[in-house]
Amino acid sequence: MEKVQQMIMNNRTTLGIEFGSTRIKAVLIGEDHAPLATGGHTWENKLEKGIWTYSLDDVWAGLQNCYRDLAENVMQHFQVKLTSVGAIGISGMMHGYLVFDKYEKQLVPFRTWRNTITGEAAEILSKEFNFNIPQRWSVAHLYQAILSGEEHVKDIAFMTTLAGYVHWQLTGEKVLGVGDASGMFPVDSNSNTYNPRMLRQFQQLIADKGFNWKLEEIMPKVLTAGENAGYLRAKGAKLLDPTGTLQPGIPMCPPEGDAGTGMVATNSVAPRTGNVSAGTSIFAMVVLEKELAKIHPELDVVNTPSGKPVAMVHCNNCSSEIDGWVKVFTELLENMGHKPCKDELYSVLYNKALAADPDGGNLLAYNYLSGEHITGFEEGRPLFVRKQNSNFTLGNFMRTLLFSAMGTLRIGMDILAEEEVRIDKLLAHGGIFKTKGVAQQLMAGALNVPVAVMASAGEGGAWGIALLAAYMENKANAETLEAYLDQKVFAEETLSSIEPKAEDIEGFNRFLQRYKDGLKIEKAAVENY
């Protein structure tokens, strides 16, 4: 206790805060990189006028609630006021569209990664750049606004991501980590700056519009892991902690996206390593040994926080539909007079899936609460379908729901296999893996690759950005991020790895064929309901 108290009072800690899709989380770590305390705040995106968004008021209210929860936990467990830390890092959902004028006024509501409204722009830019520009990327949102003749575009002075916005307000610095920046606009992996050829091509595309800005002038400066990204200013300290207890002057690392912090939290930043993050959305990141041979609209090419190229398979939908069904089961039990423990209920339901038929009993589900670009849907409708002779049991029902959360990911990963991208192991993290062994085993079979989970990765991206802040603060002169993680963070980490089973591989393959064949059912639902 005394050792930890001294660590906190002497600012030998680092703080990571991540804005996830459904939760804002803070993690305070000590000198050994282990979490000391956490804080959290639950929030939800809203569908307003056809746009998935979060209000900036919700951003700050959520951040303050999250930080207050952390500070209270520090006081409760260690009887110390949190007045400062050694370094801070901010992370958030990648992509999307946040734009401001020269007076720092927000021009339009935040358009998040979840929106699939930029198809025309993404197609034109991908063809022009000869590089896949997904609909989620900031430049696709910007160009779509230009194509649609939106009035606000002429007034843009700054465009950034959620993490970049929060960092800007806390420090005054308009910067972004290279991983997050690579989801705004393509990055040159050799120079770790926005691709100059594509910047020129973009300016040529919009030359007749007469805007008084250039794209490189309105985007954040790109920084790599380990660089200083400014200091918490007095205004920022009050935004984070309105009580005035937290003091300004704390160094801050480059703000990063949730994909990059997931790679750090699973030590998946070296070539031939990969990780899967599964929560509201699901995505796999595989660090490449060489560039892909062809352009694939299903794959993003982004960067690790240190700048290495990464193939990203991103799917908009994952666990929300499962969570919806668990809420229904909870309501049933409560109406019967029971008070189920949420974790126990998930555990019971998930473990029933392990004992089910390998292919899910000839059942079919789609978890499309929103559109899904990999399968070509701009909108989605959650569906559960069965035949008269399907084996409709609770276990098969849950296995099919879990399979549906992995279906689009598998379609994207098959493209990497065709490109002969080698993966030694996938590290998994996120809420779907919380019930020990279940989603991990099913995913190993679905992707036909060993899937490992590490205990420390349970803290997710908030821990990952805390590690990036610690790397900035504590690294030796020329120490790479990969070496720092290997030797100082994960040297004694034990992995729980599951090899794919033949029956799980075969079972998921049967489900996947059913899934692909049934996409016409999903299409009919979107068109008619």
Q: How wide is the angle at C-alpha 408 spanned by C-alphas 402 and 412, nearest 5°? A: 135
**Contact yes or no for 277/315 (Cβ under 8 A):** no
Alpha-carbon distance of 305 to 263, in angstroms, equals 9
Distances (CA, A) of 165 to 110, 179, 252, 255: 11, 15, 14, 9
Compute CA 193 distance to the chain's CA centroid, rounded to the nearest angstrom.
Answer: 22
3-state helix, strand, coil in the chain (%, to 5): 45, 20, 35
pTM: 0.82
Distances (CA, A) of 221 to 24, 97, 142, 307, 469: 25, 17, 18, 14, 18
Q: Report the SS3 class of residue 253.
A: coil
**Per-residue pLDDT of the chain in tens (529 residues, 90 and over written 9):** 899 999 999 999 999 999 998 899 999 999 999 999 999 999 999 999 999 999 999 999 999 999 999 999 999 999 999 999 999 999 999 999 999 999 999 999 999 998 989 999 999 999 999 999 999 999 999 999 999 999 999 999 999 999 999 999 999 999 999 999 999 999 998 899 999 999 999 999 999 999 999 999 999 999 999 999 999 999 999 999 999 999 999 999 999 999 899 899 889 898 888 989 888 889 899 999 888 888 888 888 999 999 999 998 989 999 999 999 999 999 999 999 999 999 999 999 999 999 999 999 999 999 999 999 899 998 999 999 999 999 999 999 999 999 999 999 999 999 998 888 888 888 988 789 889 999 999 999 999 999 998 865 556 889 999 999 999 999 998 899 999 999 999 988 878 899 999 999 999 999 999 999 999 999 999 999 9
Angle between helices 438-447 and 394-418 (to 10 degrees): 40
Alpha-carbon distance of 485 to 275, in angstroms, equals 15
Tokens of 380: 């989605």
User: String of b and e for 13-29 (b: at least 16 CB within 10 Å)?
Assistant: bbbbbbbbbebbbbbbb
Distances (CA, A) of 55 to 3, 17, 46, 66: 41, 18, 9, 16
Alpha-carbon distance of 111 to 144, in angstroms, equals 12
Alpha-carbon distance of 195 to 204, in angstroms, equals 15
Instruction: Specify the pLDDT at position 497.
Output: 92
Q: Report the SS3 class of residue 89.
A: strand
Alpha-carbon distance of 279 to 314, in angstroms, equals 12
Nearest to 183 by CA among 268, 266, 55, 97: 97
Q: For 166-205, where are the E strands, in sequence order? A: 175-177, 187-188, 193-194
User: String of b and e for 477-504 (b: at least 16 CB within 10 Å)?
Assistant: eeebbbebbeebbbeeeeeebbebeeeb
Q: What CA dihedral angle connects 99, 105, 107 and 109, to 10 degrees?
A: 80
Q: For 438-484, where are the E strands, in sequence order? A: 451-454
* Residue 431, amino acid: G
